[in-house]
Structure 1
Amino acid sequence: MLDQQTMDIVKATAPVLKDHGVAITSHFYKRMFENNPEVRQFFNHTNQKRGRQPEALANAVYAAAVHIDRLEAILPAIQPALHKHKSLNIRPEHYPIVGQNLLGAIQDVLGEAATPDIIDAWAKAYGVIADVFISLEKQMYDDAPWIGFKPFTVAEVIEDTPEVKRFHIKANDGVVGMAIPGQYISVQARIAGEDILHHRQYSVVETTEDGYWIAPKAEGLVSNWLHEQTVGTEIPVSAPAGEFVLEASDRPLTLVAGGIGITPLFNMAKTALGQGRSVTLLHAVRSTNLRPLGEELDELVNAGLQLITHVDDVSGCMSATQLEALDVEGHDVYTCGPTAMMETVVQTIPQARYEFFGPSAVLARA
Structure 2
Amino acid sequence: MKLMNEQQKDLVRATIPVLQSSGVALTTHFYQRMLNHNPELKHIFNQGHQGAGQQQQALAGAVLAYASHIDDPSVLLPVVERIAHKHVSLGIRAEHYAIVGKHLLASIQEVLGDAATPELIDAWAAAYGKLAELFIDLESSFYQQSVDAAGGWSGWRPFRIVRKQAESAEITSFYMQPIDGGSLPDYQPGQYISLRVYVEELGIYQPRQYSLSDMAGANQFRISVKRQGASETTPEGKVSNLLHANYDVGQLVELSAPGGEFYLQQSNRPVVLLSGGVGITPMIAIGKTLHQQGQREIHFVHSARNSQVHAFKSVSDAFAEKGAKVHYFYDKPQADEAYARTAPFAIADVLPSAPLEAEYYLCGPLPFMRHYISELKAHGVPETQIYAEAFGAGGV
Question: Counterpart in 2 of 1:216?
Answer: 225
Distance 2:136 2:191 in 1: 21
Distance 1:355 1:290 in 2: 20
Query: Aligned match of 2:69 in 64, 67, 70?
Result: 67
Question: C-alpha offsets along residues 29-72 of structure 1, whole Å, 9 cap, x if unaligned?
Answer: 11111111111111112212222211111111112112223222
Q: SS state of the match for residue 304, structure 1?
A: coil
Alignment of 1:1-366 (within 5 A): 1-144=3-146, 145-173=152-180, 174-206=182-214, 207-219=216-228, 220-227=237-244, 228-275=246-293, 276-313=295-332, 318-319=343-344, 322-327=346-351, 328-350=355-377, 351=383, 352-362=386-396
Distance 2:387 2:218 in 1: 29
Q: Is the 8 A contact 1:318 1:341 kept in 2?
A: no
Distance 1:204 1:309 in 2: 22
One-letter code aligned to 1:44: N
Distance 1:150 1:157 in 2: 19
Question: C-alpha offsets along residues 164-192 of structure 1, whole Å, 9 cap, x if unaligned?
Answer: 11111112232212221111000010122
Aligned length: 360
Distance 2:260 2:92 in 1: 15
TM-score by length of 1: 0.94
CA RMSD, Structure 1 to Structure 2 (Å): 1.7
Q: Is the 8 A contact 1:185 1:204 kept in 2?
A: yes
Return closer, same or farther for 1:347/1:86 CA change in 2, 3 Å cut-off: same
User: Once the 2 structures are TM-superposed, how far is the Cα of residue 5 of structure 1 from its aligned partner?
Assistant: 2.3
User: Once the 2 structures are TM-superposed, how far is the Cα of residue 313 of structure 1 from its aligned partner?
Assistant: 4.1
User: Once the 2 structures are TM-superposed, how far is the Cα of residue 19 of structure 1 from its aligned partner?
Assistant: 2.3
Distance 1:49 1:324 in 2: 39
User: Once the 2 structures are TM-superposed, how far is the Cα of residue 360 of structure 1 from its aligned partner?
Assistant: 2.8
Q: Is the 8 A contact 2:332 2:343 kept in 1?
A: no
Q: Is the 8 A contact 2:169 2:309 kept in 1?
A: yes
- Give runs of ≥4 in structure 1 deviating > 3 Å: none
- Per mean C-alpha deviation after superposition, the further-off stretch among 288-297 and 87-96 is 288-297
Distance 2:79 2:171 in 1: 31
One-letter code aligned to 1:354: A
Distance 1:313 1:106 in 2: 49
Q: Which runs of 5+ in 1 are unaligned?
A: none
One-letter code aligned to 2:16: A
Q: SS state of the match for residue 349, structure 1?
A: helix
TM-score by length of 2: 0.87
Q: Is the 8 A contact 2:157 2:254 kept in 1?
A: yes
Q: SS state of the match for residue 269, structure 2?
A: coil
Distance 1:15 1:292 in 2: 45
